[in-house]
């Protein structure tokens, strides 16, 4: 009887460990100690991790300023101090491999989504090379864009200075993409432009007033 109970207990422990391993893993950057990244993994205590070192399955690839590039379950993610935790794990990074968008009366594909878990409104722009966020919207959702690389951007009124950044998580419908290149620009925009740094990760199919994005 005791042997059977022991086996049952061990099985329960193994199943619990498997379930925990399958859950998404939350990783945040709390600060920098020289070239070391001060990481919090899950509910653990902060740990200073140097480039090339690994802590609880999270490998630090490089650090610069107040950001760190890490590798989590084979996914390359850019973490920034003060931003929402990145959440990746052994489970699929999104609930689906496709999303269907409907055109509005003007033919624009506008949808709700999120950047780093903050709600935003997107508009598909196949002519934009990257995702584009207005400076006011970036401020609203707490993007730490001023640590990004300064770039000159072409606008309807000529050129303007902006910032080239990486977005940790970008979600549209049930689909999530990680480490997405984006630009933050001073010009006002009605929505975040969903450009090709996101769109090229999908096959696009147009059917009347609907657009279907299917993960490659």
Same domain, 79 and 112: no
Beta partners for 37?
A: 32, 49
Of 53-62, 71-80, 107-116, where does mean pLDDT reach its minimum? 71-80
Give the pLDDT confidence score for residue 26 in this predicted structure: 78
For the residues 183-192, what does the mean pLDDT come to?
A: 91
DSSP 178-199: EEEEEEEESS--SSEEE-HHHH
Q: Structural domain tally of the chain?
A: 2
For tokens 């059977």, what's the residue? 4
Same domain, 106 and 209: yes
Residue 10, domain member (yes or no): no
Residue 149 structural domain: 98-215
Question: Residue 163: is it exposed, middle or buried by C-beta count within 10 angstroms (0-12/13-18/19+)?
Answer: buried
Residue 6, domain member (yes or no): no
Boundary of a domain, candidates 62, 89, 116: 89
* 101-149 residue pLDDT tens: 999 989 999 999 999 989 999 999 999 999 999 999 999 999 989 989 9
Same domain, 83 and 167: no
Q: Could you tell me whether strands 175-185 and 131-134 are parallel, antiparallel, or unpaired per DSSP bridges?
A: parallel
Domain with 118 in it: what CATH number? 2.40.70.10
Residue 191, domain member (yes or no): yes
Q: What is the mean pLDDT of the chain?
A: 81
Boundary of a domain, candidates 89, 114, 141: 89
Give the pLDDT confidence score for residue 91 in this predicted structure: 39
Give the pLDDT confidence score for residue 55 in this predicted structure: 87
Global confidence as pTM: 0.59
Same domain, 139 and 156: yes
pLDDT band at 6 (very low <50, low <70, confident <90, very high): very low
Interatomic CA distance for residues 73 and 139, integer angstroms: 30
Interatomic CA distance for residues 8 and 159, integer angstroms: 68
């Amino acid at each position: 009887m005791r042997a059977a109970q022991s086996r049952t207990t061990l099985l329960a422990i193994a199943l619990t460990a498997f379930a925990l391993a399958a859950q998404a893993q939350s990783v945040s950057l709390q600060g920098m100690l020289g070239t070391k990244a001060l990481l919090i993994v899950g509910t653990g205590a902060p740990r200073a991790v140097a480039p090339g070192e690994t802590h609880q399955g999270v490998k630090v690839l490089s650090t610069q300023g107040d950001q760190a590039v890490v590798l989590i379950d084979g996914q390359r993610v850019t973490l920034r101090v003060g931003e929402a935790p990145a959440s990746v794990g052994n489970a699929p990074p999104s609930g689906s491999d496709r999303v269907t968008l409907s055109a509005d009366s003007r033919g624009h594909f506008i949808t709700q989504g999120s950047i780093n878990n903050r709600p935003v409104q997107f508009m598909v722009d196949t002519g934009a090379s990257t995702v584009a966020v207005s400076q006011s919207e970036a401020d609203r959702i707490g993007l730490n864009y001023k640590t990004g690389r300064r770039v000159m951007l072409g606008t309807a009124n000529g050129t303007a200075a902006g910032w080239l950044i990486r977005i940790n998580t970008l979600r549209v419908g049930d689909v999530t993409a990680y480490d997405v290149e984006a630009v933050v620009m001073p010009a006002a925009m009605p929505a975040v432009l969903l450009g090709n740094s996101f769109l090229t990760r999908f096959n696009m199919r147009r059917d009347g007033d609907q657009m279907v994005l299917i993960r490659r």
